[in-house]
Copies of this chain bind each other. A is one copy, B any other.
Amino acid sequence: MDEFKTIRAAYDRILPLPDAEWADFCRCLVQKRSDKGEFLIREGQVENHIHFLANGATRNYFINDGKEFTVDFHFKGDFVTAYYSFISREPSEIFIELLEDAETLSIEYTALQDFYRKSCLGERIGRLIAESQYMKRLKKEMDFLSLTAEQRYLKLLDKNPTLVSRLSVKHLSSYLGVQPESLSRIRKSSSRN
Protein backbone atom coordinates (compact mmCIF):
# COMPACT_ATOMS: atom_id res chain seq x y z
CA MET A 1 0.00 0.00 0.00
CA ASP A 2 2.86 2.26 -0.82
CA GLU A 3 0.66 4.33 -3.10
CA PHE A 4 -1.56 5.30 -0.20
CA LYS A 5 1.40 6.72 1.66
CA THR A 6 2.34 8.80 -1.36
CA ILE A 7 -1.14 10.19 -1.80
CA ARG A 8 -1.43 11.02 1.87
CA ALA A 9 1.86 12.86 1.69
CA ALA A 10 0.47 14.78 -1.27
CA TYR A 11 -2.63 15.72 0.69
CA ASP A 12 -0.62 16.64 3.76
CA ARG A 13 1.22 19.20 1.67
CA ILE A 14 -2.14 20.87 1.03
CA LEU A 15 -3.90 20.36 4.36
CA PRO A 16 -3.34 17.57 6.89
CA LEU A 17 -6.41 15.40 7.50
CA PRO A 18 -7.09 13.63 10.82
CA ASP A 19 -6.81 9.82 10.66
CA ALA A 20 -10.56 9.25 10.86
CA GLU A 21 -11.31 11.46 7.88
CA TRP A 22 -8.36 10.03 6.04
CA ALA A 23 -9.65 6.50 6.50
CA ASP A 24 -13.03 7.65 5.22
CA PHE A 25 -11.40 9.18 2.21
CA CYS A 26 -9.27 6.12 1.43
CA ARG A 27 -12.29 3.88 1.32
CA CYS A 28 -13.36 5.79 -1.81
CA LEU A 29 -10.09 5.34 -3.65
CA VAL A 30 -9.84 2.88 -6.50
CA GLN A 31 -6.45 1.64 -7.58
CA LYS A 32 -5.53 0.87 -11.17
CA ARG A 33 -2.61 0.25 -13.52
CA SER A 34 -2.73 1.53 -17.06
CA ASP A 35 -0.43 1.43 -20.04
CA LYS A 36 1.31 4.15 -21.96
CA GLY A 37 -0.94 5.37 -24.74
CA GLU A 38 -4.20 4.75 -22.90
CA PHE A 39 -6.52 7.60 -22.02
CA LEU A 40 -7.90 8.61 -18.64
CA ILE A 41 -10.61 10.52 -20.47
CA ARG A 42 -11.50 11.42 -24.02
CA GLU A 43 -13.21 14.44 -25.46
CA GLY A 44 -16.97 14.25 -25.11
CA GLN A 45 -17.05 12.29 -21.87
CA VAL A 46 -17.98 13.93 -18.59
CA GLU A 47 -15.09 13.69 -16.15
CA ASN A 48 -16.12 11.60 -13.16
CA HIS A 49 -12.78 11.21 -11.43
CA ILE A 50 -9.85 12.88 -9.85
CA HIS A 51 -6.84 10.65 -10.29
CA PHE A 52 -3.76 10.61 -8.14
CA LEU A 53 -0.69 9.66 -10.17
CA ALA A 54 1.26 7.26 -7.96
CA ASN A 55 3.45 6.66 -10.99
CA GLY A 56 3.65 7.74 -14.58
CA ALA A 57 3.13 10.85 -16.65
CA THR A 58 0.14 12.34 -18.45
CA ARG A 59 -0.72 15.01 -20.96
CA ASN A 60 -3.94 17.05 -21.00
CA TYR A 61 -4.70 18.28 -24.49
CA PHE A 62 -7.52 19.27 -26.77
CA ILE A 63 -8.04 19.21 -30.51
CA ASN A 64 -9.10 22.20 -32.54
CA ASP A 65 -9.32 22.16 -36.32
CA GLY A 66 -7.45 18.84 -36.36
CA LYS A 67 -4.49 20.21 -34.38
CA GLU A 68 -3.50 19.19 -30.85
CA PHE A 69 -2.93 21.77 -28.13
CA THR A 70 -1.45 20.76 -24.80
CA VAL A 71 -2.78 22.40 -21.68
CA ASP A 72 -0.88 20.54 -19.00
CA PHE A 73 1.45 17.74 -18.03
CA HIS A 74 1.35 15.76 -14.81
CA PHE A 75 3.87 13.48 -13.18
CA LYS A 76 4.25 11.13 -10.25
CA GLY A 77 2.71 12.68 -7.14
CA ASP A 78 0.29 14.99 -9.01
CA PHE A 79 -3.48 14.98 -9.12
CA VAL A 80 -4.86 14.67 -12.65
CA THR A 81 -8.32 15.29 -14.01
CA ALA A 82 -10.17 17.11 -16.73
CA TYR A 83 -10.94 19.67 -14.09
CA TYR A 84 -13.20 21.91 -16.13
CA SER A 85 -15.52 19.05 -16.97
CA PHE A 86 -15.29 17.66 -13.45
CA ILE A 87 -16.48 20.99 -12.05
CA SER A 88 -18.99 21.97 -14.70
CA ARG A 89 -20.34 18.46 -15.37
CA GLU A 90 -20.19 19.28 -19.06
CA PRO A 91 -18.57 16.96 -21.62
CA SER A 92 -14.82 17.38 -21.62
CA GLU A 93 -12.98 19.14 -24.44
CA ILE A 94 -9.84 17.65 -22.97
CA PHE A 95 -8.14 14.31 -23.59
CA ILE A 96 -5.83 12.90 -20.92
CA GLU A 97 -3.23 10.63 -22.47
CA LEU A 98 -0.74 8.48 -20.57
CA LEU A 99 2.80 9.31 -21.67
CA GLU A 100 4.10 6.37 -19.62
CA ASP A 101 2.70 3.32 -17.88
CA ALA A 102 0.91 4.54 -14.77
CA GLU A 103 -0.56 3.60 -11.44
CA THR A 104 -3.48 5.68 -10.31
CA LEU A 105 -5.65 6.06 -7.22
CA SER A 106 -8.95 7.54 -8.25
CA ILE A 107 -11.91 9.04 -6.46
CA GLU A 108 -15.29 9.37 -8.11
CA TYR A 109 -17.23 12.59 -8.42
CA THR A 110 -20.14 11.42 -6.28
CA ALA A 111 -17.85 10.01 -3.60
CA LEU A 112 -16.02 13.31 -3.43
CA GLN A 113 -19.25 15.27 -3.16
CA ASP A 114 -20.30 13.00 -0.30
CA PHE A 115 -16.99 13.61 1.34
CA TYR A 116 -17.45 17.37 0.91
CA ARG A 117 -20.86 17.14 2.52
CA LYS A 118 -19.55 15.18 5.47
CA SER A 119 -16.38 17.12 6.11
CA CYS A 120 -15.60 20.81 6.22
CA LEU A 121 -11.96 19.90 5.79
CA GLY A 122 -12.77 18.09 2.59
CA GLU A 123 -14.54 21.20 1.40
CA ARG A 124 -11.50 23.20 2.29
CA ILE A 125 -9.16 20.89 0.42
CA GLY A 126 -11.43 21.27 -2.57
CA ARG A 127 -11.13 25.01 -2.30
CA LEU A 128 -7.36 24.93 -1.92
CA ILE A 129 -7.01 22.69 -4.95
CA ALA A 130 -9.27 24.93 -7.02
CA GLU A 131 -7.26 27.95 -5.89
CA SER A 132 -3.95 26.40 -6.83
CA GLN A 133 -5.31 25.36 -10.23
CA TYR A 134 -6.45 28.94 -10.74
CA MET A 135 -3.01 30.31 -9.95
CA LYS A 136 -1.37 27.97 -12.41
CA ARG A 137 -3.75 28.99 -15.19
CA LEU A 138 -3.47 32.72 -14.52
CA LYS A 139 0.32 32.59 -14.63
CA LYS A 140 0.22 30.84 -17.97
CA GLU A 141 -2.31 33.31 -19.31
CA MET A 142 -0.13 36.21 -18.25
CA ASP A 143 2.80 34.57 -20.02
CA PHE A 144 0.79 34.24 -23.23
CA LEU A 145 -0.21 37.89 -23.02
CA SER A 146 3.17 39.41 -22.33
CA LEU A 147 5.92 37.08 -23.52
CA THR A 148 7.21 35.94 -26.89
CA ALA A 149 7.52 32.23 -27.69
CA GLU A 150 11.23 32.33 -26.91
CA GLN A 151 10.66 34.06 -23.58
CA ARG A 152 8.01 31.50 -22.63
CA TYR A 153 10.42 28.68 -23.45
CA LEU A 154 13.28 30.21 -21.47
CA LYS A 155 11.02 30.86 -18.51
CA LEU A 156 9.80 27.27 -18.51
CA LEU A 157 13.35 26.02 -18.85
CA ASP A 158 14.30 28.14 -15.87
CA LYS A 159 11.36 27.22 -13.63
CA ASN A 160 10.92 23.62 -14.67
CA PRO A 161 14.03 22.19 -16.35
CA THR A 162 13.07 18.56 -15.64
CA LEU A 163 9.77 18.99 -17.43
CA VAL A 164 11.50 20.49 -20.45
CA SER A 165 14.03 17.67 -20.64
CA ARG A 166 11.50 14.86 -20.25
CA LEU A 167 9.14 15.87 -23.02
CA SER A 168 9.27 15.52 -26.77
CA VAL A 169 9.62 18.60 -28.93
CA LYS A 170 6.17 17.90 -30.32
CA HIS A 171 4.45 17.88 -26.92
CA LEU A 172 6.44 20.70 -25.45
CA SER A 173 5.89 22.98 -28.44
CA SER A 174 2.14 22.45 -28.36
CA TYR A 175 2.22 23.41 -24.68
CA LEU A 176 4.17 26.58 -25.41
CA GLY A 177 1.87 27.55 -28.24
CA VAL A 178 4.33 27.25 -31.13
CA GLN A 179 5.06 24.80 -33.94
CA PRO A 180 7.68 22.08 -33.37
CA GLU A 181 9.91 23.67 -36.02
CA SER A 182 9.86 26.96 -34.15
CA LEU A 183 10.77 25.35 -30.83
CA SER A 184 13.62 23.60 -32.54
CA ARG A 185 14.93 26.93 -33.84
CA ILE A 186 14.39 28.66 -30.50
CA ARG A 187 16.45 25.95 -28.82
CA LYS A 188 19.27 26.26 -31.28
CA SER A 189 19.49 30.02 -31.11
CA SER A 190 19.27 30.20 -27.33
CA SER A 191 21.88 27.49 -26.81
CA ARG A 192 24.34 29.47 -28.91
CA ASN A 193 24.46 32.07 -26.12
Contact = CB atoms under 8 A, between A and B. Distances in A.
A84 interface: yes
Contacts of A147: 64
A75 to B, nearest CB: 20
Interface SS of A by simple majority: helix
Which of A84, A88, A133, A141 has the most C-beta atoms of chain B within 10 angstroms of its own C-beta? A141
Given A123-B120, A123-B123, A124-B123, A93 B131 contact: no
A161 interface: no
Contacts of A123: 120, 123-124, 127
A177 B149 CA distance: 13
Interface in A92-124: 93, 116, 120, 123-124
A87 B136 CA distance: 12
Contacts of A127: 123-124, 126-127, 130
A99 to B, nearest CB: 19
Which of A131, A133, A177 has the most C-beta atoms of chain B within 10 angstroms of its own C-beta? A131
Contacts of A139: 84
Contact of A141 (B87, B124, B131, B137): B137
A76 to B, nearest CB: 23
Contact of A144 (B62, B67, B177): B177
Given A123-B124, A135-B88, A140-B141, A64 B146 contact: yes
A69 interface: yes
Contacts of A126: 127
Interface in A7-35: none
7 nearest CB pairs, A to B: A130-B130, A137-B137, A127-B127, A64-B146, A144-B144, A69-B145, A120-B120
Given A71-B141, A144-B145, 11 more contacts: A62-B142, A83-B134, A87-B135, A93-B142, A127-B127, A127-B130, A130-B133, A134-B137, A137-B137, A137-B141, A144-B177
